[in-house]
């Protein structure tokens, strides 16, 4: 290994200087998630970098392995079987690549397997500095365990001297310290104060932190005496009024490390979260990634440090905006975390909920969103008991896959709610305005492996409810080969190779969605036509379709087709940033793209309206699902009174058995859903 290692380093050094495609051949990129480890092979084919194959295997961070490199080897062995190439030699990687194509030239890794950083946001005001601080706090894998704001109950204190004498202020101080000690955080992010403003409030926040840290030290000493591990001391990120830095550091530094970032809100109307996000990302890399079991070995194998998966995904969103001018949103719903990455003309943002996901993060999702918010997405009845039992069975057996149609629908409902929760936060950080993007990409095991493309498309539209402000349309795609994390990482080493592979091998296009906005929610029996759409396919015929308000329809448009559209909203309805009732027509050269689903006309209005009456809601959801051919193959949703009157054949169990025994080879990779 050491010989190969030095060769690898030599090669890396020469690659740095030459930076040409020809210097590096086979590239192995692994992404170690909390549930699955995915290994992806890229190589030069016919003078071009291409995606060769991908294999996945359960992550082996826990006992009995307690070493993620075992999972990497398992995935590599599968990759060797799939490609017929030799990549390992007994227990080591074959590096560099040989003439017979065996071996690898570059090995890089991303990971989201480390636990989230527990973070406390301490801000001066809940309406300004806390919002900015929360945005920075949720830019990587974190779990916000508590929030402290000075305007909570101590607003009446006129100045700091009074605060010291005030019993209520002392009680508040104690209460906040107790909050910190109850869930000892890894990081405390202190924010607040405009540049040139008062420093006293920030010092008061620092006192809470230092008081709690002192107590934490005492507890840690006690725990150490009985060979127990106590939480480490938090690192403090100070991203408030820079004039308070010295006082804050004096208060906190004797007991905890202080890192400075530029003020999140230097002026009332200026927000800069980037520097604090960078400091937080560094803390995650320094404190959390090395905690991945087997990290020491893994980091010796890889060319450069292991990169958090979210950083790679964020880079791809940034690339799509910078290179193609596409306002992009990438959505990733995983086992432990749910993330959104936005890059548009206004800003570039990441929203990572490190505590919400579809396996380990399911308990937190349900606790936060509750039963009613989840079942609103389902076209059949599920009792609270059934849903909770389902959820906790998934939590205790996180690798399990949906067995029945009902299981699949429940899992998809949970995915919708996870994405919707992340979307609401991201929107809140954009002053509550709808997010601007015209390209929506789904990634992560669940979205990549939905049995039908319509299921992925409808899930993205339901959960994220793109408003398609601007042009009025949004293109939908899924990363079925899960190349976004490895390509984001590869871009750090070989940007040209990553860009080339991304453009050719990454996305599967689902179609284009035209979003129609109405005036208020659609009524129960709303038959008003919302929009009339004329589609001129190239190649293909022309259709004109009228879409009633409250519905969603698909107009066939294959992946190889494009179409010119004439969209005529009815009075009171609008598309994009057009005036209500104003017709829009695609310009020459701007024809819309087809896809596996087709052209989607979403005239359901924004936000989506869910009828209060249960049967009406089921019927509505069934219509949406039917329109997208999204009703899962399998058993009946419900054998009772809510079985659909127009149930298609694939609702029956017999049909499912026939499908199950169909021996046609699959055309998509196997599911490793989260």
Partner 1 sequence: MSLYYPIPQPTIATNILVRRERRLPVPGEVMVKAGQRVEPTDVIAQSMLTSEPVRIDIAADLDMSPQATAKRLQVSTGARVEQGSVLAQRAGTGSRASRSPVAGTFTGYDQATGTGVIAIAPEPVSVRAHLKGIVADLIPYYGAILETPATLVRGIFGIGGEQHGVLKVAVPSGDEPLTPGVIDARVAYAIVLGGSEVSADALRRMIELGARGLITGSIRSSELANFLGFARAGEWRMGAATAENGGWDFPPSNPGVTSPVPPDFVLIITEGFGSAPMSARTFETIAAYDGQEIAIDGTTRLRGGLARPEIIIPLARTTSVRWLEEKGPKLEVGTNVRLLSSAYLGQVAQVTGLPVGPRASQSGVIAPVADVLLSGGRRLRVPVVDIEVLE
Q: Which of residues 654-673 bind partner 1 (CB under 8 A)?
A: 656-657, 659-663, 665-666, 668-673
Give the residue from 640, 620, 637, 632 showing the smallest Cα distance to 660. 632
Considering only 312, 336, 338, 427, the residue that binds partner 1 (CB under 8 A) is 336
Task: Tell me the closest approach of the beta carbon of residue 615 to partner 1, in angstroms.
Answer: 24
Q: Which of residues 565-624 bind partner 1 (CB under 8 A)?
A: none
Contact 230/219 with Cβ under 8 angstroms?
A: yes
DSSP secondary structure string for all residues of 550-574: TEEEEE---TT-EEEEEEEEPTT-E
Q: Which of residues 349-408 bind partner 1 (CB under 8 A)?
A: 355, 360-361, 363-364, 366-367, 370-371, 384-386, 388-393, 395-408
Q: How far is Cα 261 from Cα 241, in angstroms, rounded to an integer?
A: 10
Q: How many residues bind partner 1 (CB under 8 A)?
A: 79
Q: Which is nearer to partner 1, 406 or 494 (CB)?
A: 406
Q: Which run of H or E residues covers position 11?
A: helix 2-18
At residue 176, φ and ψ (nearest 5 deg) are: -70, -35
Tokens 């035209």 belong to: 514
Site membership for partner 1, residue 134 (CB under 8 A): no
Collapse the DSSP code of 510 into the 3-class scheme (helix H, G, I; strand E, B; otherwise coil) and give the result: strand
Task: Tell me the closest approach of the beta carbon of residue 633 to partner 1, in angstroms.
Answer: 4
Q: Which is nearer to partner 1, 21 or 82 (CB)?
A: 82
Site membership for partner 1, residue 632 (CB under 8 A): yes
Considering only 3, 227, 525, 649, the residue that binds partner 1 (CB under 8 A) is 227
Binding span for partner 1 by CB under 8 A among 69-77, 262-270, 575-583, 629-637: 629-637
Task: Tell me the closest approach of the beta carbon of residue 502 to partner 1, in angstroms.
Answer: 24
User: Which residues, 6 or more positions from 328, have their beta carbon under 8 angstroms from its beta carbon?
Assistant: 317, 320, 321, 341, 342, 343, 344, 437, 439, 440, 441
Q: Which of residues 442-461 bind partner 1 (CB under 8 A)?
A: 449, 451-452
Give the residue from 371, 474, 368 showing the smallest Cα distance to 424. 368
Q: Which is nearer to partner 1, 230 or 262 (CB)?
A: 230
Site membership for partner 1, residue 334 (CB under 8 A): no
Q: How far is Cα 95 from Cα 68, in angstroms, rounded to an integer?
A: 20
Q: Which is nearer to partner 1, 84 or 432 (CB)?
A: 84
Task: Tell me the closest approach of the beta carbon of residue 396 to partner 1, in angstroms.
Answer: 5
Q: Both tokens of residue 256?
A: 């905890």
Considering only 24, 32, 55, 118, the residue that binds partner 1 (CB under 8 A) is 118
Collapse the DSSP code of 125 into the 3-class scheme (helix H, G, I; strand E, B; otherwise coil) and give the result: coil
Q: Both tokens of residue 647?
A: 């149930």
Contact 568/551 with Cβ under 8 angstroms?
A: no
Q: Which is nearer to partner 1, 222 or 590 (CB)?
A: 222
Task: Tell me the closest approach of the beta carbon of residue 225 to partner 1, in angstroms.
Answer: 7
Q: Which is nearer to partner 1, 99 or 397 (CB)?
A: 397
Contact 153/196 with Cβ under 8 angstroms?
A: no
Maximal C-alpha separation, the chain: 80
Task: Tell me the closest approach of the beta carbon of residue 243 to partner 1, in angstroms.
Answer: 30
- Asked whether the CA dihedral 303, 305, 310, 313 is positive or negative, the reply is negative
Considering only 13, 164, 171, 182, the residue that binds partner 1 (CB under 8 A) is 182
């Amino acid at each position: 290994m050491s010989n190969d290692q030095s060769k690898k380093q030599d090669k890396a050094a020469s690659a740095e200087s030459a930076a040409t495609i020809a210097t590096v051949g086979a590239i192995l990129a692994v992404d170690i998630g909390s549930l699955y480890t995915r290994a992806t092979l890229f190589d030069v084919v016919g003078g071009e970098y291409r995606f060769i194959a991908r294999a996945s295997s359960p992550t082996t961070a826990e006992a009995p392995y307690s070493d993620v490199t075992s999972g990497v080897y398992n995935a590599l062995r599968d990759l060797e079987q799939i490609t017929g190439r030799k990549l390992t030699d007994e227990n080591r990687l074959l590096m560099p690549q040989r003439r017979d194509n065996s071996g690898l030239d570059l090995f890089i890794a991303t990971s989201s397997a480390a636990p989230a950083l527990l973070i406390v946001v301490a801000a001066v005001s809940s309406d300004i500095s806390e919002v900015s601080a929360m945005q920075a706090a949720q830019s990587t894998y974190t779990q916000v365990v508590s929030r402290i704001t000075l305007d909570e109950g101590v607003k009446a204190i006129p100045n700091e001297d009074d605060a010291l004498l005030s019993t209520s202020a002392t009680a508040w101080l104690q209460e906040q310290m107790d909050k910190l000690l109850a869930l000892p955080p890894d990081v405390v992010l202190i924010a607040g104060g405009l540049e040139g403003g008062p420093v006293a409030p920030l010092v008061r926040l620092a006192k809470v932190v230092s008081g709690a840290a002192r107590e934490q030290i005492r507890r840690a000493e006690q725990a150490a005496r009985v060979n127990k591990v106590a939480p480490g001391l938090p690192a403090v990120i100070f991203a408030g009024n820079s004039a308070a830095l010295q006082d804050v550091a004096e208060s906190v530094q004797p007991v905890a490390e202080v890192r400075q970032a530029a003020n999140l809100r230097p002026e009332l109307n200026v927000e800069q979260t980037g520097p604090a996000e960078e400091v937080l990302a560094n803390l995650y890399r320094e404190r959390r990634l090395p905690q991945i079991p087997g990290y020491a070995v893994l980091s010796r194998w890889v060319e450069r440090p292991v990169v958090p998966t979210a950083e790679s995904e964020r880079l791809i969103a940034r690339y799509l905006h910078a290179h193609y001018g596409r306002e992009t949103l990438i959505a990733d719903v995983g086992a432990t975390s749910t993330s959104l990455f936005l890059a548009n003309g206004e800003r570039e943002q990441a929203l990572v909920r490190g505590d919400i996901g579809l396996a380990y993060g399911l308990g937190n999702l349900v606790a936060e969103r509750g039963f009613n918010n989840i079942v609103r997405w389902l076209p059949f009845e599920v009792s609270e008991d059934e849903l909770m039992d389902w959820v906790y069975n998934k939590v205790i057996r996180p690798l399990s896959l949906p067995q029945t149609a009902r299981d699949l629908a429940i899992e998809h409902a949970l995915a919708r709610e996870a994405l919707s929760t992340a979307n609401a936060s991201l929107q809140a950080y954009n002053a509550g305005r709808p997010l601007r993007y015209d390209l929506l990409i789904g990634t992560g095991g669940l979205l990549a492996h939905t049995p039908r493309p319509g299921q992925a498309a409808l899930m993205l539209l339901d959960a994220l409810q793109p408003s398609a402000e601007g042009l009025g349309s949004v293109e939908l795609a899924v990363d079925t080969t899960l190349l976004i994390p490895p390509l984001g990482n590869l871009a750090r080493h070989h940007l040209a190779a990553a860009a080339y592979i991304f453009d050719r091998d990454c996305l599967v296009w689902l179609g284009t969605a035209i979003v129609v906005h109405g005036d208020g929610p659609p009524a129960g029996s709303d038959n008003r036509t919302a929009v009339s759409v004329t589609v001129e396919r190239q190649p293909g015929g022309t259709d004109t379709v009228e879409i009633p308000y409250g519905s969603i329809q698909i107009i066939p448009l294959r992946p190889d087709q494009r179409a010119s559209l004439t969209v005529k909203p009815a009075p009171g309805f609008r598309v994009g940033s057009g005036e209500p009732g104003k017709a829009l027509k695609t310009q020459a050269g701007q024809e819309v793209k087809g896809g596996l689903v087709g052209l989607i006309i979403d005239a359901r209005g924004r936000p989506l309206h869910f009828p209060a009456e249960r049967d009406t809601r089921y019927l509505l959801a069934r219509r949406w699902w039917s329109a997208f051919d999204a009703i899962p193959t399998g058993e009946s949703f419900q054998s009772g009174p809510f079985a659909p009157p127009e149930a298609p054949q694939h609702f029956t169990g017999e049909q499912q058995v026939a499908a199950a025994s169909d021996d046609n080879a699959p055309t998509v990779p196997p599911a490793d859903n989260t």
